A and B are shown apart, each in its own frame.
Chain A
Amino acid sequence: MTVGEWVRNTSVYRSVIRHGVAPTNRNRSLIIFENLFLHVHPVKVREKTLRFTHTFWLGGITLASTIILVATGILLMFYYHPSVPQAYRDMKELQYVVDNGVFLRNLHRWSAHLMVFSAFLHMLRVFYHRAYRPPRQFNWVVGVVLLLLTLLLSYTGYLLPWDQLAFWGVSVGTNMAKQAPLIGERVRFFLLGGNIVSENALLRFYVLHCVVLPVALLLLISVHIWRVRKDGGVQGPPDDERRSP
């Protein structure tokens, strides 16, 4: 009996993982749908849908950058205080003092750029492959909300370094919100937690950036990927591409 076999026979292991290891189709299916995280995927996919040119893996790249952002973001939170003027000092400390701080900060920054960019390209890919059509029309709407959340995450993260770029970026952005008819002034007041971009605004943007928006994003990503399975798998280039006018 090998160590692997012994582990697989323990009652603890068998209480967690119930399927066998024999290379049968049944076991391969059980691996997917007995796992909370994998079961949003289909048990079987067509081989051609896995090819790079089928989807250019753009949704996957966006998801991968999201996972990097969550991981690096949590690590950055260990050194960051959302207060004035400590926020700017913490950002500088991460850049110049903390071991690997500049690496994590830049990884977070570049992944954020990549996430926006790949989400946008993913949207174009879906559009040109006509994958927004029924039965996938609802998933397109989910995707639009995800794009909005991505942009809001980008924007709220922009304030956190508390440098000149952040301050004026948020001044301009919240002045845009003020131009909304009737509720604009109130929206700006609620976003900033006051009339000027100051400590309250920093704290609000921090909570939105680190809790509210990521939770909404991760929930909707789950729905988005699960709907891909429910709507019949990923839609690559339409088969009638050459014949269509």
Chain B
Amino acid sequence: MPELEGMFGPEVEEEETLGRRDFFTQIGVGACAVVAVASGIVTLDYLEPKVLFEPSTTYVAGSPLDFAPGVVVPNQEKKAFVIGGANGIYALSAVCTHLGCITRYKSDESVIACPCHGSRFDLEGNVTHGPAPRPLPWLDVSQDANGNLVVDTGIVIARGKVFRP
């Protein structure tokens, strides 16, 4: 604080040296700044929940043998479809990319349709009719120790990456 220097005594000639008063001022201001930043970090850390009592994002979809090409099995609770494709099995999110309604599979037309605003998707999740802005995400499919398919709705994978048992 150079403008304050004159107020507390005669002007110091050598400006290079740090006076005792300035030294302690800087220590004090620095300590306050460290405490302020640390409090911010601690508070942010506090606000981040460490244990979530949310429903599990995974579910067992059944044996891979159940998914011959053309089979579509929705899961209402987990909001996902498991689909037997020509090259393998894959899972689609059933949450419409427009405003988050839950889509339905229409077996007579072989489309996935949203009841809220009329969006339509083909069986690979591509938008065939708006207003949905993006295709349905593909979800992670794996196999558990018993050989059953396990879908994780929390993990989005690259489109077209089918699961081959």
Closest to B47 in A: A190
Q: Indicate whether A168 reaches chain B with its CB closer than 8 angstroms.
A: yes
- The reply to whether A168 and B54 contact each other, CB–CB distance below 8 Å, is no
Interface of B is mostly: loop
Which residues of A149-204 are within 8 A (CB) of B? 168, 171-172, 175, 189-190, 193-196, 198-200
Q: Mark B46-69, 1 if CB is under 8 A from A, else 0.
A: 011100111000000000000000
- The reply to whether B48 and A175 contact each other, CB–CB distance below 8 Å, is no
**Residues of A in contact with B, size category:** 10 to 19
If the complex has contacts A189-B48, A200-B49, are A194 and B54 also in contact, measured as CB distance less than 8 A? Answer: yes
Number of interface residues of B (CB under 8 A): 10
Q: Indicate whether B99 reaches chain A with its CB closer than 8 angstroms.
A: yes
Contacts of B54 in A (CB 8 A): 194-196, 198
Contacts of B40 in A (CB 8 A): none
- The reply to whether B52 and A194 contact each other, CB–CB distance below 8 Å, is yes
Contacts of B47 in A (CB 8 A): 190, 193
- Chain B's nearest CB lies how many Å from the CB of A193? 5
A-B contact pairs, 17 of them (CB 8 A): A168-B99, A168-B100, A171-B99, A171-B100, A172-B100, A190-B47, A190-B48, A193-B47, A193-B49, A194-B49, A194-B54, A195-B54, A195-B154, A198-B54, A199-B53, A200-B49, A200-B52
Interface residues of chain A, those whose CB is within 8 Å of chain B, are: 168, 171-172, 175, 189-190, 193-196, 198-200
